[in-house]
Amino acid sequence: MNKFANFKDLLAYCETENCSIGEAALRYEVSLGDRTTEAILQGVQTILSQMKDTIQSGLLSEEKSMSGLSGGFSKKVITFVDSPTAFLSPLEHKMMAYALATLEENSRMKRIVACPTAGASGVVPAVLIALAEEKQIPPEKLQMGLLAAGLVGEIVSRRMHLSGAAAGCQAEVGVATGMAAAAIVECLDGTPQQALDATAISFKNMMGLVCDPVAGLVEVPCVKRNSVAGLHASAAATLALSGVYSFVPLDEVVDAMVSVGRMMSPKLKESAEGGLAQTPTALAFTEQFQKKEK
C-alpha cells in the first residue's frame, strides 16, 4: 500500500479510493501487517479512553504542580461557562478547559497521551472529547478522527522532528493544532481536501511559534498555549468546512515550517534562553525555583 510520503499522495489515494483520511489511516495501519482492523480500532479506543480519563482527573484535581506554576486552572474555565460574562459556547469552554486539565495532569506527572508530544498533549484530546460530548459524535466516528489526526502527524514527522528543541513550538503545539483541525473535519464528515486545508490553515497561523518555557518547565506558556490552540484548530476547521481553502498546498506549508525551524535561533528552541523565559518575572522565578531545588 502507498506509504503516503506526502499529503499530495494521501489526497490522491483518498480521491481514488473514495475514502476519508481516517479510513486511509486505518488501511495504512492494517497494511503494516502486524495487527487486524479490530485490534487497531481497539487500540485507538484505548487511547481515546485514556484521553478522557486524563481530562476527568485533571478537572477534579486542584493539586498544584511541583513548581506551583499550574494547577486548578481547568476548573476555573469549566465553571466560568455559567458566568453572566461568559460569551463563548459550551463547546469552546470545554475545549479550553479540557486542554488545561490535560496539561495540568502532565505537570503533575500523571498519565497523559503524548499527541504528538507531552508538551502538546492537550490539543487533540480536548478537541475530540469536547466535540464528542457536545455534538454527539459516535465512538466509531471519533476513532476515525483520531486516526486522521495521527496520520497527519506522522506525515509531518517524516520531514520535521516534532520537538521544540528541533524546530520550536510550531513543531509541537503547532503540529498538534493541525492534527486537531483535521480530526474535527473528519468527525463532521468533511472531505479529505477540507481536512488538509484545515491543517494547512492551522499550520500557517502557527508557523514560527517559539519554544520558550519558563525555567525550562513544560508549564509556562505551554499549559495555556494548549488551551488556546484548541480554539485555533476549531477556527481553522470551520473555515475549511465553510469552503475557505488554503492557497498554499499543505506540503508546501510543511516545507516552509521546516525552513523556518532551521532558521530559528537556538535561543528560541526549548533552551529557556529567549522569549518569555528571559522576562524579568521568569528570571526571578527561575532563580527562586533553582534555589528551592538545591
Label residue 113 exposed, middle or buried (CB < 10 Å: 0-12, 13-18, 19+): buried
Contact 63, 110 (CB under 8 A): no
Is 76 within a domain?
yes
The neighbour count for residue 294, using CB atoms within 10 Å, is 5
The C-alpha cell of 126 is what? 480536548
Q: What are phi and psi of 283, to 5 degrees?
A: -65, -40
N- to C-terminal Cα separation, the chain: 54
Residue 121 banded pLDDT, cuts 50, 70, 90: very high
Is 79 within a domain?
yes
CA–CA separation, 77 vs 83, rounded Å?
A: 10
Q: Say yes or no to pLDDT of 111 above 80.
A: yes
Q: Say yes or no to pLDDT of 293 above 90.
A: no
Residue 144 banded pLDDT, cuts 50, 70, 90: very high
CA–CA separation, 263 vs 115, rounded Å?
A: 25
Residue 3 banded pLDDT, cuts 50, 70, 90: confident
Domains: count for the chain: 1
The C-alpha cell of 107 is what? 505537570
Hey, what amino acid is at 222?
Answer: C
Q: Say yes or no to pLDDT of 185 above 90.
A: yes
Range of the domain at 138: 7-293
Hey, what amino acid is at 287?
Answer: E
Cα 35 to Cα 30, 39, 41, 107, 115, distances in angstroms: 6, 6, 10, 33, 21
Is 107 within a domain?
yes
Is 187 within a domain?
yes
CA–CA separation, 202 vs 232, rounded Å?
A: 7
The C-alpha cell of 100 is what? 488545561
Q: Say yes or no to pLDDT of 180 above 90.
A: yes
Residue 292 banded pLDDT, cuts 50, 70, 90: confident
Q: Say yes or no to pLDDT of 1 above 80.
A: no
Predicted local distance difference test score (pLDDT) of residue 269 = 98
Quote the percentage of the chain above a pLDDT of 70.
99
CA–CA separation, 175 vs 158, rounded Å?
A: 13
Mean pLDDT of the chain: 97
What predicted TM-score, i.e. pTM, was given to this entire model?
0.97
pLDDT digits (tens, 9 = 90+) for 8-21: 999 999 999 999 99
Is 78 within a domain?
yes
Q: What's the CATH number where 274 sits?
A: 1.10.4100
CA–CA separation, 164 vs 206, rounded Å?
A: 13
Q: Say yes or no to pLDDT of 294 above 80.
A: no
The neighbour count for residue 290, using CB atoms within 10 Å, is 11
Cα 21 to Cα 84, 162, 176, 265, distances in angstroms: 40, 21, 16, 35
Quote the percentage of the chain above a pLDDT of 90.
97
Residue 34 banded pLDDT, cuts 50, 70, 90: confident
Predicted local distance difference test score (pLDDT) of residue 28 = 96
Is 138 within a domain?
yes
Is 2 within a domain?
no
Is 1 within a domain?
no
CA–CA separation, 54 vs 269, rounded Å?
A: 28
